[in-house]
Amino acid sequence: MPDDILIINASELVTLKGPKRARAKREMSDLAIVRDGALAISGGVIVDVGRTESVLKEHDSQGVERIDASGKLVMPGFVDPHTHLVYGGSREFELEFKAKGKSYLEILKGGGGILRTVKDTRAASASDLFHQSARRLESMIAHGSTTIEAKSGYGLDRDSELKILETTRKLADDYPADIVPTFLGAHAVPSEYEGCPDDYLSFVIEDVLPEVRKRKLAEFCDVFCEKGVFTADQSRRVLLAAKELGMKLKVHADEFKASGGAELAAEVGAVSADHLARPSDDGLMALVRKDVVGVLLPGTPYSSMSKEYADGRRLIDLGIPVALGTDLNPNCWNESMQFTISLACHKMRMTPAEAITAATINSAAAVGMEKRVGTLERGKRGDVIVLDVPSHAHVPYRFGTNLCSTVVKDGRVVWEKAASLDS
Ligand code: NIG
Ligand code: FE
């Protein structure tokens, strides 16, 4: 059967065995590694995990597909908890503006940034948008992401936002990845509403959100809460309206300036507060008290040529359960959780073990999937990746190439590295 599989002889099997919730503080350093490890998947679900010898004793049945992971690292598929997967066009030309010292918000105010992508996304047909986004999704899967959150937010009118979310649904139907959809209608004020953010938000709340909910096109609602975009009071309006409709919440919080985003995330009971490069101390303490997951996105300052990375070390020491995401978007075209982990270690003072916890079980918690994915334990989904390195510390250490050799989703091999040149 294609969804029965045995993976054996792993030099390190990172199980992350433990509570089915986001891990905090020292828990983030415990990867529960099994050496010479193996796991068995049946019917798409993990049925055994342990030393190779003992797993083989129980599950050495004929005809079951085997992967020999000798000398390799085996771990849970990455959960990417923050992406803007579906958009039209690209913005490579902004690199030159950034190199000349223009800030992200200056580029946005000059009609670039999000608003440029809104134009390209509105102009794209549904089929074109699907194919552009599918290329990215294929690459994310090849880099080991098996669960991916995907936001709308480049439509900013009713039909275009619905087009993005419908495209997201079709991608989820057609590709071997779990996709968690998020409505981000409050991503920017579109040019038709320039100078009237409150009117735009009324439109989002009254005309778009109910339709999104009725058609079950999104599980989460998010908002870009930032000085110069939406204030905390404006963001609260959208989030409370979504909560009323039964949606779970996220906040783009304090990316450039302390804007009350972290405080708001805690106040409204958001599952995660994302970015957190410049949060206030009160905001951070509020996140700790309410167990809000802090989703850090080090690809964003990297692509924005900024030195303002979130202080991952401090957030973890304070007790915030930290997760990592790519923030894939046209400003930050990052499809790789491996590169994201490397940035977290090099730029945010996180250890390799913390970064791996942040990219698996903690990011699963950031999208409400912690009971189903994010660790290799009996009963969890068979979402497993094999990397061609001997230990987990090699993942952040060796950046810039794809270390995955096999990606398994629900017990099926969905991607394999091509044969090497000398074989
Ligand atoms: O998460 N910060 C807001 N939104 C995106 C960027 C969007 C864009 O530049 O197109 C982010 O970084
Ligand atoms: Fe984002």
For the chain, give percent helix, strand, coil, nearest 5: 40, 25, 40
Distance of CA 25 from the midpoint of ligand 1 (Å): 28
Distance of CA 97 from the midpoint of ligand 1 (Å): 16
**Which atom of ligand 1 is closest in space to residue 104's alpha carbon?**
9
In the predicted model, is pLDDT for residue 107 greater than 90? Answer: no
254-301 confidence digits (pLDDT tens): 999 999 999 999 999 999 999 999 999 999 999 999 999 999 999 999
Distance of CA 336 from the midpoint of ligand 2 (Å): 15
**Cα 341 to Cα 56, 346, 394, 400, distances in angstroms:** 32, 9, 11, 11
In the predicted model, is pLDDT for residue 62 greater than 90? Answer: no
Q: Tokens in use for 363?
A: 């990011």
Count Cα neighbours of 160 within 13 Å in the Cβ-side half-sphere.
20
Q: How many residues does the chain have?
A: 423
The predicted pLDDT at position 420 comes to: 74
Q: If you ran DSSP here, which 8-state letter would residue 89 be given?
A: S
Task: Report the alpha-carbon angle 219-353-255, nearest 5.
Answer: 50
Ligand 1 pocket residue status of 117, Cβ below 6 Å = yes
- Token pair 């503006």 in the structure block, residue: 97
Q: Indicate the top mutation candidate among 83, 84, 275 to test ligand 1's pocket, ranked by most ligand atoms within 8 A of CB.
A: 84
Q: Indicate the top mutation candidate among 85, 103, 109, 114 to test ligand 1's pocket, ranked by most ligand atoms within 8 A of CB.
A: 114
181-225 confidence digits (pLDDT tens): 999 999 999 999 999 999 999 999 999 999 999 999 999 999 999
Task: Read off the pLDDT band of 179 (50, 70, 90).
Answer: very high
The predicted pLDDT at position 103 comes to: 83
Check: CB of residue 409 under 8 Å from CB of residue 177.
Answer: yes
Nearest to 407 by CA among 338, 346, 354, 348: 338
Helix locations, 292-414, DSSP H: 299-303, 312-318, 337-347, 352-358, 361-366, 394-397
Least confident of 85-89, 204-208, 226-230: 226-230
328-383 confidence digits (pLDDT tens): 999 999 999 999 999 999 999 999 999 999 999 999 999 999 999 999 999 999 99
Helix locations, 325-412, DSSP H: 337-347, 352-358, 361-366, 394-397
Type of residue at 276: L
**Burial of residue 195, with CB atoms counted within 10 A of its CB: 0-12 exposed, 13-18 middle, 19 or more buried:** exposed
The fraction of the chain above a pLDDT of 90, given in percent, is 92
Strand, helix or coil at 310? coil
Q: Indicate the top mutation candidate among 108, 222, 332 to test ligand 1's pocket, ranked by most ligand atoms within 8 A of CB.
A: 332
Q: Given its phi and psi angles, is residue 301 left (phi above 0), alpha (psi -120 to 50 degrees) or beta?
A: alpha
Q: Which fold has domain 79-366?
A: TIM Barrel (3.20.20)
Rounded Cα distance between 172 and 404, Å, is 22
Which parts of 109-197 are beta strand (E)? Answer: 145-151, 178-186
240-250 confidence digits (pLDDT tens): 999 999 999 99
Nearest CA to ligand 1 atom 10: 114
Least confident of 2-6, 35-39, 53-57, 120-124: 2-6
Q: What is the CATH number of domain 5-76+375-416?
A: 2.30.40.10
Q: If you ran DSSP here, which 8-state letter would residue 208 be given?
A: I
Torsion angle of alpha carbons 5, 412, 65, 76, nearest 10°?
Answer: -50
Rounded Cα distance between 280 and 282, Å, is 5
Rounded Cα distance between 421 and 178, Å, is 33
Q: Tokens in use for 393?
A: 């510390």
**Which atom of ligand 1 is closest in space to residue 113's alpha carbon?**
9
- Token pair 């992971």 in the structure block, residue: 69
- The pocket of ion ligand 2, defined by CB under 5 A, consists of 327
The predicted pLDDT at position 3 comes to: 58
- Sign of the dihedral defined by the CA atoms of residues 231, 236, 241, 245, in that order: positive
- Token pair 């400003």 in the structure block, residue: 331
Ligand 1 pocket residue status of 223, Cβ below 6 Å = no
Task: Read off the pLDDT band of 423 (50, 70, 90).
Answer: low
Q: Tokens in use for 352?
A: 């390799």
Nearest to 237 by CA among 214, 267, 258, 217: 267
pTM: 0.97
- For residue 368, list its beta bridge partners: none
Rounded Cα distance between 295 and 396, Å, is 18
Check: CB of residue 128 under 8 Å from CB of residue 346.
Answer: no
Task: Read off the pLDDT band of 70 (50, 70, 90).
Answer: very high
Rounded Cα distance between 378 and 7, Å, is 14
**Cα 290 to Cα 28, 237, 300, 321, distances in angstroms:** 18, 20, 26, 11
In the predicted model, is pLDDT for residue 308 greater than 50? Answer: yes
The predicted pLDDT at position 1 comes to: 45
Q: Which ligand is nearest to the CA of 225?
A: 1
Task: Report the alpha-carbon angle 139-144-145, nearest 5.
Answer: 80
**Cα 288 to Cα 36, 61, 348, 364, 376, distances in angstroms:** 37, 48, 19, 18, 27
The predicted pLDDT at position 2 comes to: 47
The fraction of the chain above a pLDDT of 70, given in percent, is 99
**Which atom of ligand 1 is closest in space to residue 117's alpha carbon?**
10
Ligand 1 pocket residue status of 327, Cβ below 6 Å = yes
Domain ranges of the chain: 5-76+375-416, 79-366
In the predicted model, is pLDDT for residue 422 greater than 80? Answer: no
The predicted pLDDT at position 108 comes to: 74
Distance of CA 300 from the midpoint of ligand 1 (Å): 8
380-419 confidence digits (pLDDT tens): 999 999 999 999 999 999 999 999 999 999 999 999 999 8
